[in-house]
Amino acid sequence: SENLPLRNKKILITAGPTYEAIDPVRFIGNHSSGKMGFELAAAANAAGAKVTLIAGPTHLENPDPAINLIRVQSAQEMYEAAMENFPEVNAAIAAAAVSDYRPKNVENQKIKKEAGNLHLELEPTPDILAALGKEKKEQILVGFALETENEVQNARGKLEKKNLDFIVLNSLNDPGAGFKTDTNKISILFSDGRKMDFGLKSKKEVAGDILKELIVVLNE
């Protein structure tokens, strides 16, 4: 129906940061609030979709009990939950700020302070979105890019490399865009070369803009 454009659609969304353990009490994380992903989940649910939301550590509550919220900590846990759920969805949106690196060895005991420098060896985490791009069959796949330089060129590179249908670009150069804020300013780059620019809006409105484009692509 026109009122529920995502009725009968299943959508997977990743959101929030990941925490990568250093020892039992410390981790490597980032400032992602999870707001953008939770707004997308709420909007997709309101549009009639069956939503699975895989969220890293965030204080945000589940926007609606109908949303299947899976809370995880690490990139590895997010990867496993995403890969398990991906085969049965019509679309996936990767809005999570996944840590690119994790400590190679997780200490079993709290690391003691000693004289001199401490060296932590880091290894790459799995790129969840790239893995979904490899597994992709009929699914529509959407990613995010947060760039500080050569934004459009870098985002296009990711769109192609990760086998996406479109990528949402937000620039940290725009005041009010990105981490921790309630507003965002985005451009959408499509795999057919089109680019759409949007103004500064609330993350709720931005979620609506993104879903509108997803609905168009799903109906093509």
Residues 154 to 183: which contact ligand C5P by CB under 6 A? Answer: 158
DSSP letters, 169-188, are EEETTSTT-STT-SEE-EEE
Q: Does 128 interact with ligand C5P (rule: CB under 6 A)?
A: yes
Site of tokens 């590179």: 157
The answer to whether 136 is a known ligand-binding residue is no
User: Does residue 60 contact residue 34 with C-beta atoms inside 8 Å?
Assistant: yes
Q: Please work out the total of residues on this chain that contact ligand C5P, with binding judged by CB under 6 A.
A: 13
CA distance 102 to 29: 9
- Beta-sheet strands, E only, within 37-164: 50-55, 68-71, 91-94, 101-103, 122-124, 140-147
- Is 100 marked as a binding-site residue? yes
Residue 22 labeled ligand binder: no
Whole-number Å distance between alpha carbons of 134 and 141 = 11
98 versus 189: smaller Cβ distance to ligand C5P: 98
Binding map of ligand C5P across residues 129-158, x = CB under 6 A, - = no contact: x-------------xxx------------x
* Interface of this chain with ligand C5P, residues 34 to 53, rule: CB under 6 A: none
Classified as helix, coil or strand, 70 is strand
Alpha carbons 107 and 118: distance in angstroms, whole number: 13
| Nearest alpha carbon to residue 14 among 122, 126, 105 | 126
Q: Which is nearer to ligand C5P, 14 or 45 (CB)?
A: 14
Nearer to ligand C5P, 86 or 144 (CB): 144
* Selected range binding ligand C5P among 4-12, 48-56, 94-102, 181-189, rule: CB under 6 A: 94-102
- 12 vs 43 by CB, closer to ligand C5P: 12
For residue 75, the minimal CB distance to ligand C5P (Å) is: 6
Residues 13-32 that bind ligand C5P (CB under 6 A): 14
Q: Report how far apart, in Å, the C-alpha atoms of 7 and of each of 3, 4, 50, 85 are.
A: 9, 5, 8, 18
Binding positions for CTP are 100, 110, 126-129, 144, 158, 162
Per CB under 6 A, residues contacting ligand C5P are 14, 75, 94, 96, 98, 125, 127-129, 143-145, 158
